[in-house]
Structure 1
């Protein structure tokens, strides 16, 4: 696993090493049985209006029952009337319906369009690939906005391990879903446009199910990543040649693939999860028609293993349960005293500054969520267990500037924030909410060089008042 593209010989057309050679036979049999229950059965509407399952590859019916057509037309006309009334009222209430839309506060970087031009991507032995500021950056600046390379949405799973349909659109992740997939019962969309735009689901539909238990979500995300990558190339050998010429990480192109270093965490479990994903991929005609030789299949094994290995340490999870892998946003390192924070809106991830940042200073985010409030020992144990590194940030190294609590709580900005916390839940864009945001920004500019629970409390108030997300 140390050399992802290691071959059995030095010849150009030599086979790649079989990374699944160590998979036990009993596990191979288990996966074969598991795949039978992992597939999603297509649906069909019979002439009497009842829904029944149809066989794989059976074409969809073109004739809709007249009775169903009349009911559908009546419901559609009702929706159109409501929509027409809403459109007439829109100009009157448009100002009240302001909403937060994440966009870069600066022009985009020439090499990485998802990052602002005030950032540079650097590499060092201590930090690996990381992000630094090439000028001073103020509080509240959005310095990164990106669509995910790949993501999945969690369904609601009950105690019997049965899950319902995801409540978010599979394409844009909005929660007003009204359109179901034509071929399966597993996913929903908010519009016909989103259903047509989702090319990946058209490949995986009826092959893998979106109603699966939590223990297999990493498997499904790895499958999504592979499908996204393969879809960008016309052939398997074109893909292999492109990856080999890129020398694993050089000439990084974010819209085609993610090239991140393999981790050493849970090596055996990673191989077993990757094997599940590989076997599931090999049930899809889209994959088997492209990867139909020993060399191309071995390459696919390594690609699946690589993506499976990076998910635990690099996936972002939002409050709605969407698990995403990003390209450039994964470049940001962790600190227990972060100077930036990540959020999610309308299917995009973004990075916003929460402390004043000086030129040449590295940009850090928080990997551990609410556990950042724990003791140093608790934080270090959690980071070591999930990411296998020791945090040496200013807070863990005890070099952070400590201000007396009384000095901070006596600040007039802080007193205003404490007395008007409820304003952060007012409609987005209103004067009181904007005033609270400005007071938070002034406090963070003044005391952002130190780190206390008081600062953490103000940061939360700032984020809630500055965006219409929940952190």
Structure 2
């Protein structure tokens, strides 16, 4: 008679085998000198480990290597957090199933045969310093890339390489949400800070994975629940507020001058009066409608048909980006901003060998002239998944391309964020000076400055994406409003 093994015994055997694999990778990591390879092996071990003791041991060992990366304190804090989690957590699936290693996104870009990159020719390679170089000669008018494959990878990176709450790069030490695979947090404080909006977003992870690889849906989903938290969870209050903004010719500052206490976040909300849809709006809407009933919390929250339609609009409209509250943070993560980011970043004299053509509603990128093997196509920070230029608030910047270029943008180390023009640099500098001098101004001057800023902001509509100097004006207005509210 055949031997019958119970499912419980079978699971024990599987767990034991996984633990052996985890120990193998953990020991191998200890013998490797390369920090990058150490992290990859530790993360591989984490994905396999079943035992709580082995999991904690791997976490502790991984934390130690951050001393060389100057992140030791932050990682030590996470070690304490991990211990707290393991004391209470019975189900370790989110950690065990963390499939994305710290370098997976970069590997995808290097792997020219990857199924998610069908339109990248087998002629480019990403070097260690993020240059895209040719591995064989390329003829003129050769297809380099189409928009969607890159957008999917960059959208992934915004979630797996950055804290879901503060959106800052945590340099390889993000801890997954215990209930879903799409949210990573850098600290317990960030987890608590995201408690409200992520409670619903956590259930809706599949909405962000509908078969349309648009980063705007994922950003819209997060921003929807983030804004909802400012209305104490009242969907109808949020809808009424948004509709007032949408239908009015006034700005958010004129519609509601008595905004809640969190004035700074509200002050950087963008006017919601300009909408444009995707070409596949109807198809995308039907897909989301099929997915929504799976998530009871969201169905309970958005109870009526009109509220569901509102949520769908939030997710599928291109201008869902207009709803973002933490705009100051998102500008530090240009990878998460728009599905047209490649075009915006390539529209630069340093990348003069690339031109784009719109085919069937999708951008495709081609070379203008032939390239030899080893030539650098361009040096692109958009694929740099390390710390992402948070110095913009200090009006400093990094070069976008590594070229000996004499254009005004490169000479001034000027970053090309979405919609930014070189001739607007004086506006950016003026906005920074306004912020510095604000404390010296009286109430009357502050109101005049607020009005002037808003007039300039309004002149940019209906431009699709606000640029960096517009962001600085929003920050300026935010601080003006805060100061005026304080003086009342």
Q: Normalising by the residue count of structure 2, what TM-score does the alignment of the two structures yield?
A: 0.36
